[in-house]
Amino acid sequence: MRAVMMERGRLWVDDLPIPEPGPGEVLVATQACGICGSDLHAARHTEDFVKTSIETGGAFKLTTFDPVVMGHEFCAELIDHGPDTQKNLRSGQLICSIPVLLREDHKHLAVGYSNKVPGGFGEYMILSERMLLPVPDGIPAQAAALTEPLAVGYHAVNKARLAGDEACLVLGCGPVGLAVITALKARGAGPVVGVDFSTGRRQFAAGQGADSVCDPDTENPYALAELANRRLVIFECVGIPGMIDDIFARTPNDAHIVVVGVCLQTDHIRPLVAVNKELSMQFVLGYTPEEFRHSLASIADGQFDVTGLVSHEIGLNGVAEVFEALRDPERYAKVIIDPSLE
């Protein structure tokens, strides 16, 4: 099978054996797989990415000296069943799955961040049968592949514990910020303001239902009239050093900050600023199985509007070029890989 390999930031397409499913596992063919910001972090800062995951007991235990086939935001077609499977789903069924391969020794593997099994940047994967979710009829693979990133946004909104009378400021309107906006609007929260320096990303935010958008180069997002006299909930979806301390300095008193963006570098904050303003802060990661299931169901019933999230669809040969191009926020929202494309 063809797959995109990554080793310390270098990406190339290679031929690999088709993986064989073990007990309780199935073979699937990738139909669509999104490129996640975490994939960019893993490629550009491999050693820091792995070191931090190991230090904190995270699931990303890939080694830095072996190639990996990334890709954890996927929709796939069920091809074959391994031994000791229930065969509740037929071959040919489109499926999604939380990207974890369960193993009897409890040494579970993170699909897309393991050197031992391929992720969705290849033509085939093996998955755990009991983790599979059938994609409802009529939902295209490209839309179903958004289940995972939208579950991240939905989880962040759940962790915010909104009471219903807050104003929401989403800082950074890349794919993660757009997922948060989508989940906020599905919940009926508002006003929701998308903030980004990029004209293109502000347009994407408006397309996902943001009540207004703001260019922080030309106006102060914390002083917008629509946010006045409401408790402010800020979703930090940028993930660069200095971002949290800047929020501390500029936000009004009693704001709640939800940190969704992943910053790999050491950062600096001034706690006394947050103390004096009585700010609260919540860091978030991933989602629960129930939230993942809800995300797929919400795509199927239209509660999550995914029509404007995908900006580009590429084949395996285009992945290395797009990893570089994604440094330009003007052109890209979510990029989907379809291994069948040239």
Range of the domain at 27: 2-146+309-337
Whole-angstrom distance, CA of residue 24 vs CA of residue 138 = 28
Task: For residue 132, give both structure tokens.
Answer: 């599979």
Residue 214 clears pLDDT 70, i.e. is over it = yes
Widest pairwise Cα distance in the chain: 61
11 with 142, same domain: the answer is: yes
71 with 132, same domain: the answer is: yes
Residue 329 maps to a domain: yes
Cα–Cα distances (Å) from 104 to 19, 23, 60, 78, 310, in that order, read 18, 9, 18, 22, 37
Q: What is the pLDDT of residue 62?
A: 65
225 with 189, same domain: the answer is: yes
Whole-angstrom distance, CA of residue 192 vs CA of residue 247 = 17
Percent of the chain's residues with pLDDT above 90: 82
Nearest to 72 by CA among 107, 37, 22: 37
Whole-angstrom distance, CA of residue 177 vs CA of residue 185 = 12
Scanning 37-79, the segments in alpha helix (DSSP H) are: 37-44, 46-55
245 with 317, same domain: the answer is: no
Residue 288 maps to a domain: no
Residue 14 maps to a domain: yes
Task: For residue 110, give both structure tokens.
Answer: 């993170």
Q: Span 204-222, mean pLDDT?
A: 96
Which residue type is seen at 282? Q
231 with 107, same domain: the answer is: no
Percent of the chain's residues with pLDDT above 70: 97
CATH number at residue 71: 3.90.180.10
Residue 30 maps to a domain: yes
76 with 157, same domain: the answer is: no
136 with 213, same domain: the answer is: no
pLDDT by residue (tens digit) across 11-66?
A: 999 999 999 999 999 999 999 999 999 899 888 877 777 777 777 776 656 666 68
188 with 87, same domain: the answer is: no
Q: What is the pLDDT of residue 107?
A: 78
pLDDT by residue (tens digit) across 104-158?
A: 776 789 999 999 999 999 999 999 999 999 999 999 999 999 999 999 999 999 9
Of the three residues 268, 283, 298, the one that is the final residue of a domain is 283
How many domains, in total, are found in the chain? 2
The whole model's pTM is what? 0.95
Nearest to 183 by CA among 231, 150, 161: 150
Whole-angstrom distance, CA of residue 201 vs CA of residue 197 = 8
Point out the least confidently predicted range of 154-158, 228-232, 247-251, 335-339: 228-232
Residue 103 maps to a domain: yes
34 with 123, same domain: the answer is: yes
Phi and psi (nearest 5°) for 302? Answer: 85, 0
**Predicted confidence band of residue 92 (pLDDT cuts 50, 70, 90):** very high
* 200 Cβ contact partners less than 8 Å away, ≥ 6 residues apart: 329, 330, 331
Q: Span 316-340, mean pLDDT?
A: 90
Whole-angstrom distance, CA of residue 82 vs CA of residue 126 = 9
* 271 Cβ contact partners less than 8 Å away, ≥ 6 residues apart: none
Q: Is 214 helix (H, G, I), strand (E, B) or coil?
A: strand
CATH number at residue 234: 3.40.50.720
Whole-angstrom distance, CA of residue 63 vs CA of residue 86 = 33
Q: Is 3 helix (H, G, I), strand (E, B) or coil?
A: strand
Q: What is the pLDDT of residue 59?
A: 60
Which residue type is seen at 166? E
